[in-house]
Copies of this chain bind each other. A is one copy, B any other.
């Protein structure tokens, strides 16, 4: 493989000149530029970027830690990160952490060992097992909840949940069930708080009996729906903490012969693409996933370049989308 030295020899110049020609061509004479170009082409020279990075102490790479890459919401956030990274000349190293703090270690180590300049974490912050923040590791959390102790981007989960439940209440629902995420998931916690706030303001007592814990995946939504069906006094509406469980619940209720929204109203959270495809279409909260990714990346690049970060907790606007899955109770 040709090195810069080979090019220098071929062009009858010094390595320093070649190097300059590559980075600041305007500071080299036209004549030499031509010679250099010819030599490069003749030898098919490609600068060794590993050497460049090593020398310049800049990896121009960021790592993105994602709990589950086969999750549409994350895919969109990543897409947003990618697009601003590309713009800034950064590479994105993707790490699927399978929602485990343990697996995060390797990726954090990458920035500690100079392999990457910084990191975006898509896993919501849990005090119990978070490895971040860590000094020397520029990081931003792109899917955070309240009380994340480092730079973070999120929506107002509490407010959004409250809005959803308000909508159900205003339709006339009094008995509103919940299919939550895992109880210790920060998003579950925030959304549950919003649910309770809405109930309280409407003077409806909180009933833990009609809160069923899921795990954000399809099957947990399905099984929750079955449990609701077995209740003698079934809720007339269900607030699901994400779209996947909501769609599963719809399927479960329909299979039991219930009509949606006639017999039971359903709401989701996230606004995945599918949610406008299902029948009936799903009332849900639309998170600006792509924007969240973009903003996170922008913040990270600012940190890496030591620009001042003015705000630590970035709250992006969400949208409450009313579709066909909600209606007044019969």
Contacts and interface: CB of A to CB of B under 8 A. Distances in A.
A105 B263 CA distance: 55
Contacts of A29: none
A135 to B, nearest CB: 10
A6 to B, nearest CB: 15
Contacts of A230: none
A277 B72 contact: no
Interface string A265-292: 0000000011001110000000000000
B96 A93 contact: no
A76 interface: yes
Contact of A277 (B48, B114, B115, B218): B218
A114 B218 contact: no
Number of identical protomers? 2
A323 to B, nearest CB: 13
B82 A75 contact: no
A238 interface: no
Interface string A61-73: 1000000011110
A185 to B, nearest CB: 20
Contacts of A182: none
B75 A79 contact: no
Interface in A183-223: 218
A225 interface: no
A292 B50 CA distance: 30
B49 A51 contact: no
Interface stretch (A16-24, A119-127, A246-254, A301-309): A246-254
A147 interface: no
B96 A94 contact: no
B96 A79 contact: yes
Contacts of A110: 49, 91
Interface string A103-122: 00000011011110000000
B112 A46 contact: yes
Contacts of A176: none
A47 interface: yes
A49 B75 CA distance: 28
A96 B49 CA distance: 21
Given A51-B54, A114-B48, A115-B49, A251 B279 contact: yes
Given A76-B70, A79-B96, A93-B93, A113 B49 contact: yes
A53 interface: yes
A114 B45 CA distance: 12
A143 interface: no
A59 interface: yes
A70 B273 CA distance: 10
A132 interface: no
A299 interface: no
A10 B254 CA distance: 70
Contacts of A75: 69-71, 75
